[in-house]
């Protein structure tokens, strides 16, 4: 029944199915790897693997570079602020959050590819408060978890039904041309049938 439904969906193209498979494989493999390595929060490895698994290998590489740079930047800056500025009360935690977040939010506003920088800093600052971990250890764990997700996501992008951007662009152009032909337009077919 599922396969019949799947075949009846003209919008689902081979590229979409391949991406769905790659994302599923990347998430599954990164969870297994993170658990085997004993990483404290496998969630970050799984999320990273899903984020870097894109429609094309080229897009996966671009996303990986941006995500990894943002994670490293956020972890270094957020970790430094967390270690250097004591924050043992709720008020001091709020002050440290503002000190860490304001410059990184400004950076992300000017460079959208760095949008993960403030998010990583927030995680580095707040997660130790919730788990009673050391901020430096939290930053290192976050980078290791993201690094694992990147490795798995890229490996899957290259090895599991890899798609090149040129092929996807050609397929989309062909589909667009198909849509623009008079035979695919219901109104055009009706008008030509009346003529």
Longest dimension (CA), the chain: 81
Q: Are 127 and 140 in contact (CB under 8 A)?
A: no
Give the orientation angle of helix 135-159 with respect to helix 57-84, to 10 degrees.
180
Q: Are 152 and 26 in contact (CB under 8 A)?
A: yes
| pTM, full prediction | 0.71
Query: What are residue 100's phi and psi, to 5 degrees?
Result: -75, -40
Encoding tokens for residue 152? 């798995």
Query: Whole-angstrom Cα distance, residue 141 to residue 110?
Result: 28
Give Cα separations from 178 to 104, 108, 171, 173 (angstroms).
45, 40, 10, 8
Residuewise pLDDT in 10s, the chain (195 residues): 666 666 666 556 777 888 889 999 999 999 999 999 999 999 999 999 999 998 888 888 899 999 999 999 999 999 999 999 988 889 999 999 999 999 999 999 999 889 999 999 999 888 887 777 788 888 899 999 999 999 999 999 899 988 765 455 555 555 566 666 555 555 555 555 555
- What is the Cβ-side half-sphere exposure of residue 24, based on CA atoms within 13 angstroms? 7
């Amino acid at each position: 029944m599922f396969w019949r439904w799947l075949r009846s969906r003209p919008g689902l193209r081979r590229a979409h199915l391949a991406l769905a498979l790659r994302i599923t494989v990347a998430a599954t493999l990164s969870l297994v790897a993170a658990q085997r390595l004993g990483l404290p929060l496998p969630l970050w490895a799984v999320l990273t693997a899903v984020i870097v698994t894109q429609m094309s290998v080229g897009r996966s590489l671009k996303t990986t570079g941006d995500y990894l740079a943002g994670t490293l930047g956020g972890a270094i800056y957020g970790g430094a602020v967390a270690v250097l500025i004591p924050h043992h009360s709720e008020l001091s935690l709020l002050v440290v959050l503002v000190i860490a977040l304001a410059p990184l939010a400004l950076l992300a506003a000017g460079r959208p590819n760095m949008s993960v920088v403030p998010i990583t800093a927030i995680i580095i600052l707040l997660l130790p408060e919730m788990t009673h971990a050391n901020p430096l250890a939290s930053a290192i764990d976050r980078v290791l978890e993201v690094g694992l997700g990147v490795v798995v996501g890229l490996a899957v992008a290259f090895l599991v039904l890899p798609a090149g951007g040129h092929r996807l662009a050609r397929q989309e152009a062909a589909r667009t041309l198909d849509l623009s032909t008079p035979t695919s337009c219901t109104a055009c077919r009706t008008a030509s049938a009346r003529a």
